[in-house]
Structures are given as C-alpha cells and as structure tokens.
C-alpha cells in the first residue's frame, strides 16, 4: 500500500460505517404470527426469572420491544444450552435472545445479528480465597474444582483455559454462586456482567481473560428476519434506546459490527481449510479473487468511494484469510458441511453487519 493509503482506508471505513447507521427508525411490519423467542431464563442479566418467577432481563425487554415494533406478539420458548443449535435448526423458535456468544463453530449452523454487547469470561472465587488465588493462572492446578454452565460457550472456555484443574459442568447455571459459596468448587466461570447480579455473596472476580461478543441467533435460512433485526438494532443504537449499549455512539457501534464480521470471517477460515482439504481443493483461487475485487471496485464507485482504496482493504482481508487457512489447525467438520455452506455463513454475517455500508457489503470469496 502506498504511503498515505492507510489514512485513506480509515476514512473509507468511516464513511462506509456511517452509511450503516443511517437506518430509518421505522421497521417494516413483520410476518403475521407470534415472534418466538428462545430463552434459557437462567442467565442474568440477559434472561432470568425474578423472585416472583416472572421472566425478566435485558434481552427479555429487548425482545418485547422488538416484537412490538415489528407488529407481532411475543412468545418465549425455553431452551437448554446444549440444545441451542439443534432447536434453532429445527425451528423450535425464531430467535435466541439470551446472551448468545458469537462463535465460529456455531456460525456454520446458525446466523448471527450484529453484536449488541462486548464482554469477557471471568473466574469468580470466594473473598476468603483471595490470597490463595491472586490471578486466573493460579486456579489451573490439580485438585482445584471449577464450576461452569454446561453446554454454553463458557464450558469451552474453561476446558481450554484450565487444563490441569477439574472442570465440572453444571446443568443449572443459576446454581453456580451457591456451589461456590458452599465450598463445593473453588471457582466458577462466568462473564463480566453476570456476577454483578449475585447480591449478598462475598466473591472476588478475576479477569476478564477473553473478549466475546454477544448477538442474537437465528436459523441460517431466516435471512429476512435477520435483516429486519439488524436494521432495528442499528436504529435503536441511533436513538439511544439500548441503555448501557448507548455508551457507544452509533458510528462506534457500526465499527464494532464491521470488526465483528471481519473477525468472524477469519475465525471461519480453519473450517474452510478443513473442507478444502477434504475435497482436495486448493487454498488459492485467483480467478475468484479477481471477480470479488472487481465487484468491490464497482460497488465503491457507486458509493463515490475510491475503488482502488476499497479494493485494497478487501485484498488485505483475502490475504489474511489465506494465511489463516494455511497455518491454523483444521478443526473436525461434519461430513455434510460443504464449502458452499461455510461461504453462506460468512456472506450472511458480512451482509447483515455491513448493511448499507456501500462496498463493504460486497462478498469476499
């Protein structure tokens, strides 16, 4: 890239993202029938039951407002974390709104909206153990028992982070603070927001030691509803309704959505590599790359952006993706997973998160 091109690229990105957030506040009426919202009801502050047994939480409030704005009734459908993907694929509910973490292994089977919050995994210990466990690494020893919600993202995090300690999955996420308080485990794994709801407990939080994005999850075929929700989220960011989320300006929220799409795309590359190896396909496809860059230039010109500068942004993404494919360990992939399916997941995320972002909505092959 020529000298001075980097500032131009950032200006291009800024202009493109500003287009993302210029979404009309009104959202087209949804299809008739109730909007079925999947919830585990065990994950405060996102979705849980209060002392009277009523369903409450940030995502419950958002779901009710979303359904109202779409002109639909809302129907909350329970799910268990280990069954999240299967229930979405099976059509048990339309949208999971429950603090779902964006993960590439899930993205090959489900679709994600633009992220609405960023958080991170933490370890929670008893205050009386503060001198014994000064940091997260101090927990990774034989004999240390660590509780974590079974089947969710944090179980994977715990198994990856604590290879020497005993990780104990717990089927009821709500039981974790009591298990810790009773001394049945030395620590529990949560995320930054949840332990703040554990009132009356003498706990200490260690971390965060990951950076995770939360989004709403849909079946991969629900492209129209996905777009409606993305437009609605962008509009709500602009009118500052999303509460703590409003700590980000609309432009910043647009950038976060853009970065999330690029990040997820790179995380999907090991899956692409695995399928290519299985099908004995080359990593590099120069003809496809040329077609993509030509589409990018055309879209950039239509939005009065520098075609060559925008194409350079995408060329760098393509090179980074190929580097990941060549070097990252290939995960095991199901036999039915095809290159087209992975590409569809990638395109869906890019189109939804880059909505109205001009040439940044072009498909990167």
Mean pLDDT of 16-38: 54
Class of domain 5-118+213-361: alpha beta
User: For residues 253 and 67, which has the higher predicted lDDT (pLDDT)?
Assistant: 67
Looking at residue 361, what is its pLDDT? 34
5-118+213-361 and 121-210: identical CATH topology: yes
pLDDT > 80? residue 344: no
pLDDT digits (tens, 9 = 90+) for 3-14: 444 445 444 444
Three-state SS for the chain is CCCCHHHHHHHHHHHHHHHHHCCCCCCCCCCCCCEEEEECCEECCCEEECCCCCEECHHHHHHHHHHHHCCCCEEEEECCHHHHHHHHHCCCCCEEEEEEECCHHHHCCCEECCCCEEECEEEEEEHHHCCCCCCHHHHCCCCCEEEEECCCHHHHHHHHHCCCCEEEEECCHHHHHHHHHCCCCCEEEEECCHHHHCCCCCEEEEECCCCEEEEEEECCCCHHHHHHHHHHHHHHHHCCCCHHHHHCCHHHHHHHHHHHHHHHHHHHHHHHHHHHHHHCCCCCCHHHHHHHHHHHHHHHHHCCCCHHHHHHHHHHHHHHHHHHHHHCCCCCCCCCCCHHHHHHHHHHHHHHHCCCCHHHHCCCC
Q: Classify domain 121-210 by CATH architecture.
A: 3-Layer(aba) Sandwich (3.40)
Percent of the chain with pLDDT over 70: 81
Mean pLDDT of 160-174: 97
Q: What's the pLDDT band for 20 if we cut at 50, 70, 90?
A: very low
pLDDT > 90? residue 263: yes
Mean pLDDT of 212-225: 94
pLDDT > 80? residue 244: no
Q: Domain map of the chain by residue range?
A: 5-118+213-361, 121-210
Q: What's the pLDDT band for 223 if we cut at 50, 70, 90?
A: very high
Mean pLDDT of 180-186: 97
Mean pLDDT of 149-174: 97
């Amino acid at each position: 890239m020529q000298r001075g091109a980097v500032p131009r690229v950032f200006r291009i990105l800024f202009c493109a993202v500003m287009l993302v957030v210029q979404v009309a506040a009104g959202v087209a009426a949804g299809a008739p029938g109730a909007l079925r919202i999947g919830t585990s009801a065990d994950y405060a502050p996102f979705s849980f039951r209060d002392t009277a047994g009523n369903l409450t939480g940030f995502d419950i409030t958002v779901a009710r407002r979303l359904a109202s704005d779409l002109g639909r009734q809302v129907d909350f459908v329970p799910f268990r974390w280990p069954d999240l993907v299967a229930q979405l694929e099976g059509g048990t509910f339309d949208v999971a709104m429950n603090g779902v973490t964006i993960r590439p292994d899930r993205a090959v089977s489900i679709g994600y909206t633009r992220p609405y919050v960023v958080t991170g995994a933490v370890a929670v210990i008893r205050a009386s153990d503060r001198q014994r466990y000064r940091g997260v690494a101090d927990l990774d020893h034989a004999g240390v028992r660590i509780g974590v919600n079974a089947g969710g993202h944090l179980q994977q995090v715990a198994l990856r982070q604590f290879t020497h300690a005993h990780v104990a999955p717990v089927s009821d996420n709500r039981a974790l603070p009591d298990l810790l308080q009773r001394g049945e485990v030395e620590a529990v794994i949560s995320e930054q927001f949840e332990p703040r709801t554990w009132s009356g407990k003498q706990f200490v939080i260690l971390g965060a030691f990951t950076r995770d994005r939360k989004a709403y999850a849909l079946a991969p075929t629900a492209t129209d509803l996905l777009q409606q929700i993305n437009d609605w989220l962008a509009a709500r960011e602009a009118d500052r309704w999303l509460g703590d989320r409003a700590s980000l300006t609309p432009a910043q929220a647009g950038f976060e959505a853009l970065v999330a799409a690029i990040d997820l795309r790179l995380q999907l590359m090991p899956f692409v590599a695995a399928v290519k190896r299985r099908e004995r396909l080359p990593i590099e496809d120069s003809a496809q790359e040329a077609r993509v860059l030509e589409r990018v230039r055309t879209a950039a010109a239509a939005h009065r952006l520098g075609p060559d500068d925008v194409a350079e942004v995408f060329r760098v993404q393509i090179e980074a993706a190929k580097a990941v494919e060549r070097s990252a360990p290939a995960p095991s992939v199901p036999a039915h997973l095809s290159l087209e399916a992975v590409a569809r997941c990638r395109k869906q995320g890019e189109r939804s998160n880059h909505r109205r972002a001009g040439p940044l909505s072009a498909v990167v092959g």
